[in-house]
A and B are shown apart, each in its own frame.
Chain A
Amino acid sequence: MKEEGKIPGKEAGDSSRFSNPPHGYFEDLEARLTKRIAEAPLTVKRRSLSVRVILPLLAAAVILIGIFILIPDSYESAEQPFQARLESISEEEIVAALLSERIDVRDLAENSTEALLSSSDSLLQDTNTLEALSSDPNLEYIIEEL
């Protein structure tokens, strides 16, 4: 390889240039790994039991407690201002409010009747016009021309 010639010797990457691992390292390695492997499945089982069973149960319990405690509270808290407001309104105010509603309804009914009457007036006018046209002596001539 051309480029390699320009780089100092390969000995730099030789493992002998690095300090050796502690004496007996490779001999002990297998024993340490075997120990780790023997411990690992136990850890996994413990974790899986807690992750799969206990934690979901705890989460479900917390959610249920939350539902039973917080939701009635929220109903009460929403209900209370409404009750207080209702109690603070006097009878006169209620009667006045009801009367104003009735007046509004009456106005609406009156307006609708007027609208209906004016529509029937215009219909009557249209009928009269049609009658006048039909009695026109020229009408027969016009139809023939058409």
Chain B
Amino acid sequence: MERNAEDLKQTEQEILLLFREERTRQQAFSLLVKTYSKRLYWHIRKMLIDHDDTDDVLQNTLIKAWEHLPGFREESKLYTWLYRIASNETLHFIRKKKASLRSSLDDNEELIAKIHDDNIYNGTAIERRLQEAILKLPEKQRLVFNMRYFDEMKYEEMAAVLGTSEGALKASYHHAVKKIEKFFERD
């Protein structure tokens, strides 16, 4: 695990170094895509469920990262910064989609239906129920829950990604867990 973190740090340094030179910029981009695309893909996919939507958001995320990399001030880790772009793009996508659908009573019915589609999600019945419960959460709470519960991200890192205080994130996660518990109690 520590070795992985060290490798990631080295790769991060390498990307930033390659990016500084005009002639090695393409190489930097190639390395960035190779290193982070899978992680970012699954981070987005857990929120959007659908592959095509995820592909759109992932492409926008990486393009934005590329465009704004010259302004990256290295105040945070590159991967935290990329997660932040991916999270913002995902939330933006969800809001835009909701607005275009003119928001029905249950906005996530479409996503819940996808969870029950074997071609999209092939978990057990209880796992589908958990995904359903997660999809009932407000989008930011859903993001917090996924990052904490599934990705086991530290609150400190989550705070850097989401631009929220650790306290607020703990409260948000707590509320999300309570809501999911209630969802299962009703069954």
Q: Chain A residues in contact with chain B, CB under 8 A? A: 3-4, 6-15, 17-19, 21-22, 25-26, 29-30, 32-34, 36-37, 40
Are A17 and B123 closer than 8 Å at their CB atoms?
Answer: yes
Assess whether B126 is interfacial by the CB under 8 Å rule.
Answer: yes
Closest A-B pairs by Cβ, 8 of them: A13-B150, A12-B127, A17-B123, A3-B177, A12-B130, A30-B33, A15-B42, A8-B126
Complex contacts, A40 vs chain B, CB 8 Å: 63
Assess whether B122 is interfacial by the CB under 8 Å rule.
Answer: yes
Bound-complex Cα distance A60 to B5 (A): 59
Interface SS of chain A: helix
Q: Which of A3, A10, A18, A34 contacts B174 (CB 8 A)?
A: A3
Are A17 and B126 closer than 8 Å at their CB atoms?
Answer: no
Complex contacts, A12 vs chain B, CB 8 Å: 123, 126-127, 130-131, 150
> What's the least CB distance linking B12 to chain A, in Å?
18
Are A19 and B51 closer than 8 Å at their CB atoms?
Answer: yes
Are A11 and B37 closer than 8 Å at their CB atoms?
Answer: no
Report B23-37 residues with CB < 8 Å from chain A CB. 26, 29-30, 33-34, 37
Q: Which of A6, A30, A37 contacts B34 (CB 8 A)?
A: A30
A37 and B66 in contact (CB under 8 A), knowing A7-B180, A19-B51?
A: yes
Assess whether B121 is interfacial by the CB under 8 Å rule.
Answer: yes
A11 and B127 in contact (CB under 8 A), knowing A19-B121, A26-B38?
A: yes
Complex contacts, A19 vs chain B, CB 8 Å: 51, 119-122
Q: How many contacts between A and B, using CB within 8 angstroms?
A: 90
Bound-complex Cα distance A52 to B129 (A): 54
Assess whether B59 is interfacial by the CB under 8 Å rule.
Answer: yes
Q: Chain B residues in contact with chain A, CB under 8 A? A: 26, 29-30, 33-34, 37-38, 41-42, 45-46, 49, 51, 54-55, 58-59, 62-63, 66, 119-123, 126-127, 129-131, 146, 149-151, 174, 177-178, 180-181, 184
> What's the least CB distance linking A50 to chain B, in Å?
21
Are B130 and A7 closer than 8 Å at their CB atoms?
Answer: yes
A18 and B150 in contact (CB under 8 A), knowing A13-B46, A30-B30, A36-B59?
A: no
Are B37 and A29 closer than 8 Å at their CB atoms?
Answer: yes
Bound-complex Cα distance A13 to B146 (A): 8
13 pairs of residues in contact across A and B, judged by CB atoms under 8 Å:
A8-B126, A8-B130, A9-B126, A11-B123, A12-B130, A19-B119, A22-B51, A29-B62, A30-B30, A30-B37, A33-B59, A36-B59, A36-B63
Are B181 and A3 closer than 8 Å at their CB atoms?
Answer: yes
Are B121 and A17 closer than 8 Å at their CB atoms?
Answer: yes
Bound-complex Cα distance A24 to B159 (A): 34
